[in-house]
Amino acid sequence: MRLTNARFTVTAAGIVVDAHGRVLLLKHRFRAGSGWGIPGGFIEAGEQPEEGLRRELREEIGLELDTAELSKTRTLSQVRQIEIVFRCSTQGTALPQSIEIRNAGWFPLTELPDGLPEDQRRLIKHVLNDGAKSGD
């Protein structure tokens, strides 16, 4: 059961960085036309946002997080979604394990892939710069 209110669905997302400073991005099978994106998913009823993010990463690619710090909350009006964003770190470099994930990759901040939406590109840079303006 998804956590929702009358107007918005609530999700948790992570800007996940590995020991080499690379950012984890995923291509989901069931998000047609979405291209690359940050990992995350719906929060289940009774679940804390960080727990939901950790569960999604375990289910989708078998990845365990070392840290997850609340970084930003944003409203995505077009899809009626409230997204709770965490800055995360991991020593792991797991590969896709779920039918939901078509591809996963670790990318240097300076080499984010084509197909990553501009709003997520800005969000990644914002979170990794501790909220400081990055010139974008």
How many whole angstroms separate alpha carbon 3 and alpha carbon 42? 7
Kindly report the average pLDDT of the chain as a whole number: 86
Q: For 122-132, how does the pLDDT look when each residue is reduced to its tens digit (9 = 90+)? A: 999 999 987 65
Q: At the topology level of CATH, where does 9-128 sit?
A: Nucleoside Triphosphate Pyrophosphohydrolase (3.90.79)
Residue 136 has a pLDDT of 45
pTM of whole model > 0.75? yes
Torsion angle, CA of 73/2/87/22, rounded to 10 degrees? -130
Residue 125 to residues 3, 24, 87, 129, Cα–Cα distance (Å): 28, 13, 11, 6
Q: For 62-89, how does the pLDDT look when each residue is reduced to its tens digit (9 = 90+)? A: 999 999 999 999 888 777 889 999 999 9
3-state secondary structure the chain: CECECCCCEEEEEEEEECCCCCEEEEEECCCCCCCEECCEEECECCCCHHHHHHHHHHHHHCCCCCEEEEEEEEEEHHHCEEEEEEEEECCCCCCCCCCCEEEEEEECHHHCCCCCCHHHHHHHHHHHCCCCCCCC
